[in-house]
């Protein structure tokens, strides 16, 4: 049956038509159609790389080689990824004047590449950005990619020889309080929140939809699998974001 005749799709269109201040909350499921594997599902990155070893901040400080091994594995995937229909649909919703901001757990920069101009609050950082932990200077992603390609050594700062870290927030790394405050600001003022491709398993990011709900927002979930907070949804749609979202946006 076409999504056009799905009552959930029709209801989602009606809700969005009557909204004035939509916020999208995005997880890894938004980018899987771009070829970026998610983290927690069977076959995801964490089934191949133990996050307590390869993506833990405390381990990174002592043994950064594990993190850079992970980077060598996924760097090309991120580099070659292109925005998909989900990202493009959010841009269209933005151009309709409905979508006011995007809060994302993703660090792939694909929403920016799709053309979004509204605020994008990156809870877990951006893999395309990096800096030296010692001299604090920004490091270009091109420099990092070149070094990872030509050498098995850990890339070091070209200015001081110090430790490079990408902008990605690792496990047990404190989340920047200003970023979280900004996300809460947008969550509290929205009338509809679209939760797209997140299992809502990571704290404190998973509290953002609950904050929106408490403030009176309608929550619409689109995800391949049930999430940890489906009971708070006004509308839950199980399926591919790239199938549902373009139809919903085109009907608004």
Is the whole model's pTM more than 0.75, yes or no? yes
153 is a domain residue: no
Please determine, for residue 146, whether its predicted confidence score (pLDDT) is greater than 50.
Answer: yes
- Would you place residue 43 in the very low, low, confident or very high pLDDT band (cuts 50, 70, 90)? low
Decide if 112 is inside a domain: yes
Predicted local confidence at residue 79, as pLDDT: 82
Residue 77 has pLDDT above 90, yes or no: no
Catalogue the active-site residues. 124
Q: Is residue 158 part of a domain?
A: no
Counting residues of the chain whose pLDDT is more than 70, the rounded percentage is 96
Asked if residue 211 lies in contact with residue 184, where contact means CB atoms within 8 angstroms, the answer is: yes
Residue 252 clears pLDDT 80, i.e. is over it: yes
Q: Indicate which CATH number applies to the domain containing 245.
A: 3.40.50.1220
Query: Does residue 132 surpass a pLDDT of 70?
Result: yes
- pLDDT tens-digit readout, 198-239: 999 888 999 999 999 999 999 999 999 898 899 999 999 999
What token pair was written down for 85? Answer: 């229909």
- Encode burial over 52-77: b for 16+ CB neighbours within 10 A, e otherwise: eebbbeebbeeebebbbebbeebbee
Average pLDDT on 82-93 reads 98
State how far the alpha carbon of 39 is from the alpha carbons of 3, 33, 102, 181, in Å: 28, 14, 20, 25
pLDDT at 49: 84
Mean pLDDT to the nearest integer, 115-120: 98
User: Domain for residue 241, yes or no?
Assistant: yes
Q: Is residue 236 part of a domain?
A: yes
Q: Residue 3 has what pLDDT?
A: 47
**Number of domains making up the chain:** 1
Q: Is residue 230 part of a domain?
A: yes
Residue 135: inside a domain, yes or no? Answer: no
Residue numbers of the domain that contains 91: 3-36+83-126+175-250
Residue 181 included in any domain: yes
What is the mean pLDDT of the segment spanning 153-160? 95
List strands edge to edge, sheet with 235-238.
120-122, 99-104, 22-26, 192-196, 218-223, 235-238
């Amino acid at each position: 049956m076409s999504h056009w005749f799905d009552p959930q799709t029709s209801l989602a269109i009606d809700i969005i038509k009557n909204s004035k201040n939509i916020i999208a909350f995005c997880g890894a499921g938004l980018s899987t159609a771009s070829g970026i594997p998610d983290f927690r599902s069977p076959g995801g990155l964490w089934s191949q790389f133990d996050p307590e070893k390869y993506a833990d901040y405390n381990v990174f400080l002592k043994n950064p080689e594990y993190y850079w091994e992970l980077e060598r594995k996924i760097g090309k995937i991120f580099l070659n990824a292109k925005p998909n229909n989900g990202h493009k649909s959010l841009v269209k919703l933005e151009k309709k004047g409905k979508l006011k901001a995007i809060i994302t757990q993703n660090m792939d920069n694909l929403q920016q590449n799709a053309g979004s101009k509204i605020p994008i609050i990156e809870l877990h950082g951006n893999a395309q950005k990096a800096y030296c932990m010692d001299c604090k200077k920004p490091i270009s992603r091109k420099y990092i990619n070149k070094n990872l390609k030509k050498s098995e050594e850990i890339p070091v700062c070209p200015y001081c020889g110090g430790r490079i870290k990408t902008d990605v927030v690792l496990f047990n790394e404190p989340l920047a309080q200003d970023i979280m405050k900004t996300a809460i600001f947008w969550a509290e003022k929205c009338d509809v929140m679209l939760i797209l491709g997140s299992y809502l398993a990571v704290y404190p990011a998973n509290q953002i939809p609950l904050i929106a709900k408490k403030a009176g927002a309608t929550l619409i979930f689109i995800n391949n699998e049930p999430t940890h907070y489906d009971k708070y949804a006004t509308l839950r749609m199980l399926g591919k974001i790239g199938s549902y979202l373009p139809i919903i946006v085109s009907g608004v």
